[in-house]
Amino acid sequence: MPAIRPLPPLVVNQIAAGEVVERPASVVKELLENAVDSGATRIDVAIEAGGADLVRVVDNGRGIAADELPLAVTNHATSKIATAEELERVGTLGFRGEALASIASVSRLTIRSRPEGEEGAELRVSGAASGDVAPAGCPRGTTVEVRDLFFNTPVRKKFLRTAATESGHVAEAFGRVALAHPAVHFTLAHNGRTLHDLPPCPAEGGGSDAEEAQEGAAAELHGDGDADAWRARIASLFGEELAAALIAVRSEDRREDGSVVRLAGFVAPPTHSRSHTRMQYLLVNGRAIRDRALQHALSEAYRGLLLTGRKPICFLRLAMPAELVDVNVHPQKLEVRFAEGGPLYSQVLGSLRAKFLSTDLRPGLPATPSPDAGADDASHAGSGELETWAKRGLSQRRFDVAASSPAAASPPAFRPFPDGGSGSLSMHRFAGASSAPTPAPPQAGRRVDGPDATPTPSPETIRALQLHNRYLVQETDAGLEVIDQHALHERVLYEQLRQRVLAGPLEKQRLLVPEPVDLSPAEAAAVLGRSELLAKLGLDVQPFGGDTVLVATFPAMLRRFAPAEAVREIAAKLIAEGDSPDRRDVLDDLLHTMSCKAAVKYGDPLTDEEIGALLAARRETQDHHHCPHGRPTSLVFTREELDRRFQRI
């Protein structure tokens, strides 16, 4: 056994890098945090090859004096805290003093900087070897260039994914910092192409959460200017459509010891959701974090409003005195520990519930808060009301009964598509507001649940009984019919789709942010080789480097599925088809797949109005006796047969 000895600094730093620098996105995050901490008003990020070849972050902040440059890249050297006491109340994003040292130990790093009124200087570090500080002409601020990440740690390098995947992670890390600091102008470019240019959205009140939290409980926070600035930043990152739909939330919790915890931000209405939690942005004193408990509070608030597997979208900021949160619990500072988690959980859940109760969230209408809606008006409505509303919301989405239109008075129908496409969404289960055909009428007052809006089916529309959430039983002239709900709905959708697709491309939904989907080489080739055919189905896929495809639009009827899931399933079908000479066959097969995916499932409970709609649609279906796979959609027991079985004849 060799003797115990201290590790050389390079190894120490590489061990730290193992925790801190996982991939290019981690480098971007650390450099961005340094730039923000430096007080910069403009920060430009450029990456090449997903960040593996180059990450460059340029800021116009306060800079580093030439003689301090070597310290900046030394482990455990920081200008941000000096004492253990200060570690208890960190007001900056950085404090560990190890990011630059760690990054430099696994890359070729150049740092160039010039404080106001001083000469610029530059320092190069490559793995263990550090050069000398040399004079360099540069504008005020700091530029850090990180090249050839993991060049000296080949195992780590192997874990890097395609440039597209890595650049996706970089964009996410960039978004998290940019969201937290709307007053700073951020840009992001990949291989020379600008991905984001986020103009500054200064808040009227000014000041970041971190600063505000430092100022203590008395500060007047979250004026409307603040919310507007934030909505503008969200719009430039994630698109106007989402930003406009967001519902503002705000609350203040005064704790017993007099400290104040403020929650402000936005949540998306149930019409906007994701299959993942990556669109759940939670900032604590200006730092984007993940917190299981608060994520749980969020999903609790949406309980009954979203389908299983769908995750809410939120942009929430918490501002609290620094003593209430321990930021020194995670090497990448992605998690924090709250001094009092319970009250925080209740605050988040309570504020959202109260807001939802005072907001009309019906699909097709922009979420309209009532004028008197505040964070603490939960008392207006009991949970029973929420439940009624939630249930109604779900059934409406399922078959898209246009509750706000006069047509809602008549039973909803599985009508064929009209020529315009988006006019009839009747066949789209769970369709969202994005394709609502009519502009929303102005709303006034609190609208938790309007009796006027509920389409009550007249008794004659309820003609069948659902059994075991899978079969519909109804009386017919001849006797008794048992319908297989999934098989019938699949048939109905299939015929509607076939008519529609022969007339023109299917209705599609444009994704807010085109989604990269990683495929196997065979899947990518199959999908890209048939991109024209897929476009007819509303699915626009483009090559995105490697085996990644970029999904820009998506068949509207499959909107409740994650693009990745649907694209992979379609790819599997295409591969199975091989090079079928008959395009019709391939198309037909894809239509089967789509109808099967979009149809109600065994086990799905249906409301009376949904049953009525399904049966009405059946009348317009040519072959409603068989599902597209050839199985029967219903079985008939004649009266005669029943009589015979009961030994009446």
What residues line the site for ligand ADP (CB under 6 A)?
Answer: 30, 34-35, 38, 59, 61-64, 72, 78-80, 94-101, 142
Nearer to ligand ADP, 119 or 385 (CB): 119
DSSP notation for 334-403:
---EES-HHHHHHHHHHHHHHHHHTEE--TTS--EE-TT--TT-GGGS-HHHHHHHHHHHHHHHHHT--T
**What are the phi and psi torsion angles at 105 (to 5°)?**
-75, -15
Name, in order, each residue with C-beta under 8 angstroms of 520's C-beta and a sequence gap of 6 or more. Answer: 547
Cα distances from 237 to residues 171, 182, 193, 416, in angstroms, run 10, 11, 16, 37
Nearer to ligand ADP, 100 or 606 (CB): 100
Burial class (CB in 10 A: 0-12, 13-18, 19+), 255: middle
Answer for the pair 110, 145: CB distance below 8 angstroms, yes or no: yes
- Look up residue 218 and give its amino acid: A
Query: What is the sign of the dihedral through the CA atoms of 315, 321, 322 and 327?
Result: negative
Binding of residue 141 to Mg ion (CB under 5 A): no
Output the smallest distance, CB 99 to Mg ion, in A: 4
Nearer to ligand ADP, 35 or 590 (CB): 35
Per the DSSP assignment, residues forming a β-bridge with 130 are: 125
Written as six digits, the tokens of 276 are: 């993942």
For residue 80, the partner it binds in ligand ADP, Mg ion, none, with Cβ less than 5 to 8 A by kind, is ligand ADP
Nearer to Mg ion, 30 or 523 (CB): 30
Output the smallest distance, CB 331 to ligand ADP, in A: 11
Q: How far is CA 627 from the centre of its chain?
A: 35
Cα–Cα distance measured from residue 262 to residue 224, given in angstroms and rounded to the nearest whole number: 14
Output the smallest distance, CB 71 to ligand ADP, in A: 7
What's the per-residue H, E or C state across 270-332? CCCEECCCCCEEEEECCEEECCHHHHHHHHHHCCCCCCCCCEECEEEEEECCHHHEECCCCCC
The residue at minimum Cβ distance from ligand ADP is 94
**What are the phi and psi torsion angles at 304 (to 5°)?**
85, -10
Answer for the pair 164, 544: CB distance below 8 angstroms, yes or no: yes
Nearer to ligand ADP, 30 or 610 (CB): 30
Cα–Cα distance measured from residue 550 to residue 541, given in angstroms and rounded to the nearest whole number: 5
Cα distances from 285 to residues 90, 180, 544, in angstroms, run 10, 9, 36
Stretch that binds Mg ion, among 16-24, 99-107, 279-287, 498-506 (CB under 5 A): 99-107
Output the smallest distance, CB 88 to ligand ADP, in A: 16
For residue 212, the partner it binds in Mg ion, ligand ADP, none, with Cβ less than 5 to 8 A by kind, is none
Output the smallest distance, CB 175 to ligand ADP, in A: 19
Cα distances from 428 to residues 305, 371, 416, in angstroms, run 17, 33, 11
Answer for the pair 142, 177: CB distance below 8 angstroms, yes or no: no
Output the smallest distance, CB 606 to ligand ADP, in A: 57
Binding of residue 32 to Mg ion (CB under 5 A): no
Output the smallest distance, CB 39 to ligand ADP, in A: 8
* Nearest alpha carbon to residue 184 among 357, 285, 316, 45: 45
For residue 547, the partner it binds in Mg ion, ligand ADP, none, with Cβ less than 5 to 8 A by kind, is none
For residue 573, the partner it binds in Mg ion, ligand ADP, none, with Cβ less than 5 to 8 A by kind, is none
In the structure, how many helices (H) and strands (E) does the chain have? Answer: 20, 27
Binding of residue 99 to Mg ion (CB under 5 A): yes
Nearer to Mg ion, 51 or 94 (CB): 94
Output the smallest distance, CB 87 to Mg ion, in A: 14
Answer for the pair 52, 149: CB distance below 8 angstroms, yes or no: yes
Written as six digits, the tokens of 514 are: 């085109």
Output the smallest distance, CB 292 to ligand ADP, in A: 25
Output the smallest distance, CB 53 to Mg ion, in A: 22
Stretch that binds Mg ion, among 54-62, 94-102, 109-117, 220-228 (CB under 5 A): 94-102
Name, in order, each residue with C-beta under 8 angstroms of 465's C-beta and a sequence gap of 6 or more. Answer: 472, 473, 474
For residue 368, the partner it binds in ligand ADP, Mg ion, none, with Cβ less than 5 to 8 A by kind, is none
For residue 96, the partner it binds in ligand ADP, Mg ion, none, with Cβ less than 5 to 8 A by kind, is ligand ADP
Nearer to ligand ADP, 63 or 393 (CB): 63
Using DSSP, state whether 480 is helix, strand or coil. Answer: strand
Nearer to Mg ion, 34 or 496 (CB): 34
| Touching Mg ion, residues 210-269 (CB under 5 A) | none
* Nearest alpha carbon to residue 404 among 461, 344, 462, 363: 363
For residue 201, the partner it binds in Mg ion, ligand ADP, none, with Cβ less than 5 to 8 A by kind, is none
Nearer to ligand ADP, 188 or 524 (CB): 188
Binding of residue 94 to Mg ion (CB under 5 A): yes
Output the smallest distance, CB 34 to Mg ion, in A: 4
Output the smallest distance, CB 152 to ligand ADP, in A: 19
Cα–Cα distance measured from residue 200 to residue 198, given in angstroms and rounded to the nearest whole number: 6
For residue 79, the partner it binds in Mg ion, ligand ADP, none, with Cβ less than 5 to 8 A by kind, is ligand ADP
Answer for the pair 559, 514: CB distance below 8 angstroms, yes or no: no
Nearer to Mg ion, 97 or 369 (CB): 97
Neighbours of 349 (CB within 10 A): 18
Nearer to ligand ADP, 149 or 614 (CB): 149
Output the smallest distance, CB 66 to ligand ADP, in A: 13
Binding of residue 115 to Mg ion (CB under 5 A): no
Stretch that binds Mg ion, among 32-40, 64-72, 145-153, 236-244 (CB under 5 A): 32-40
Cα–Cα distance measured from residue 171 to residue 165, given in angstroms and rounded to the nearest whole number: 10
Output the smallest distance, CB 205 to ligand ADP, in A: 25
Nearer to ligand ADP, 30 or 518 (CB): 30
Question: Residue holding tokens 């808060």?
Answer: 369
Stretch that binds Mg ion, among 87-95, 102-110, 315-323, 405-413 (CB under 5 A): 87-95
**Helix (H) / strand (E) containing 198:** strand 193-198
Nearer to Mg ion, 130 or 332 (CB): 332
Nearer to Mg ion, 34 or 162 (CB): 34
- Number of residues forming the site for Mg ion (CB under 5 A): 3
Write the binding mask 34 to 63 for Mg ion: x where contact by CB under 5 A, - elsewhere.
x-----------------------------
Using DSSP, state whether 206 is helix, strand or coil. Answer: coil
Output the smallest distance, CB 35 to ligand ADP, in A: 5
Nearer to ligand ADP, 123 or 248 (CB): 123
- Convert 554-570 to b/e letters by CB count within 10 Å (16 or more is b): bbbbbbbbbbbebbbbb
Interaction site with Mg ion (CB under 5 A)? 34, 94, 99
